[in-house]
């Protein structure tokens, strides 16, 4: 027996009618204002974090490019980083020992952050929180060692406008580049701590969406990557 064609006036609850998008700029504004994903497979938060990191990449690139230009153009002797950033331990002067420890601490924090993202998608709130707080603690340790480094150089007479060890531009470059990066690490510590506490409290359990942990991880890995370039260009060159 042949089946009757569906009544066009009836609509199925399982397959609601799809309205065509509005034409022109009105349709674009409607899509972007309705909390939809801007890109099909990329959530809003992740897309905006990538855009922010891209803009930050330009800023750090300008800082490092300016530093290299100033260093090559200056007529005064540039201080030797191995001597400037050396520490006396047990009566022996060890070059770059503090910078090496700082780098190890920050790179290690990338590992704990990656594990935190892994456990977040497994819905393991306790391990995610612990690893994120461990990452924040490593970041705080890095900032503390950077504060010690700053205080040591300030005590030796290094200023943004002068430097008794050689080229005056050394102080301005050092405080600007490391200070801007240290600000990013400090903000990251606060950011990770807040997200970790919200994970522990179960705020993301209701929605089942732990992408905020991955987004925080993107920021933290970027901060670590920038330090690798600062370490190579400023301390090893």
**Minimal CA–CA distance to 139: which of 101, 188, 173?**
188
Convert the pLDDT of each residue in 77-106 to its tens digit. Answer: 889 988 889 998 888 889 999 999 999 999
Mean of per-residue pLDDT scores for the chain? 86
Nearest to 199 by CA among 152, 136, 130: 130
Cα 214 to Cα 221: distance, rounded to the nearest angstrom: 10
How many whole angstroms separate alpha carbon 5 and alpha carbon 232? 72
Assess if residue 174 is contained within a domain: yes
pLDDT of res. 76: 87
Nearest Cα residue to 199 out of 134, 127, 113: 127
Query: Around 155, how many Cα atoms within 13 Å sit in the side-chain half-sphere?
Result: 7
Q: Is residue 175 in a domain?
A: yes
- pTM comes to 0.81
CA separation for the pair 202, 198 (Å, rounded): 6
84 within domain boundaries = yes
Following DSSP, what letter does each residue of 35-66 receive, concatenated? T--SBTTB-HHHHHHHHHHHHHHHHHHHHHHH
Domain count, the chain: 1
Is 118 within the bounds of a domain? Answer: yes
Residue 91: its pLDDT value, please? 82
Residue 217's nearest CA partner among 129, 121, 70, 113 is: 113
Residue 143 covered by a domain: yes
Contact of 211 with 45, CB cutoff 8 Å: yes
pLDDT for 147-192, tens place per residue?
Answer: 999 999 999 999 988 888 889 899 999 999 999 999 999 999 999 9
Q: Rounded mean pLDDT of 100-116?
A: 96
The number of helices, as runs of H, and strands, as runs of E, in the chain is: 7, 2
46, 214 in Cβ contact below 8 A? yes
> Is 172 part of a structural domain of the chain?
yes
Look at residue 34 and tell me if it is in a domain: no
Q: Is 24 a member of any domain?
A: no
Range of the domain at 109: 43-235
Q: Which CATH number fits the domain that encloses residue 87?
A: 1.20.120.80
């Amino acid at each position: 027996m042949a089946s009757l064609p569906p009544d066009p006036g009836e609509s199925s609850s399982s397959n609601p009618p799809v309205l065509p998008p509005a034409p022109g700029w009105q349709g674009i504004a409607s899509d972007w204002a309705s909390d939809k994903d801007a890109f099909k497979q990329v959530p809003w938060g992740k897309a905006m974090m990538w855009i922010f990191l891209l803009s930050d990449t330009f800023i750090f690139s300008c800082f490092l490019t300016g530093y290299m230009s100033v260093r090559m153009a200056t007529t005064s002797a540039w201080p030797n980083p191995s001597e400037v950033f050396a520490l006396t331990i047990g009566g022996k002067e060890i070059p770059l020992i503090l910078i090496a420890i700082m780098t190890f601490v920050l790179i290690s924090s990338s590992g704990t952050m990656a594990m935190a993202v892994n456990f977040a998608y497994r819905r393991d709130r306790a391990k995610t929180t612990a690893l994120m707080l461990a990452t924040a603690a490593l970041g705080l340790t890095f900032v503390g060692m950077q504060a010690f480094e700053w205080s040591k150089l300030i005590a030796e007479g290094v200023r943004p406008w002068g430097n008794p060890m050689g080229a005056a531009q050394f102080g301005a470059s050092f405080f600007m580049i490391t200070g801007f990066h240290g600000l990013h690490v400090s903000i990251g510590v606060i950011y990770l701590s807040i997200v970790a506490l919200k994970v522990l409290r179960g705020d993301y359990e209701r929605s089942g969406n732990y992408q905020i942990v991955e987004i925080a991880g993107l920021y933290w890995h970027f901060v670590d990557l920038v330090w690798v370039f600062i370490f190579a260009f400023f301390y090893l060159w």
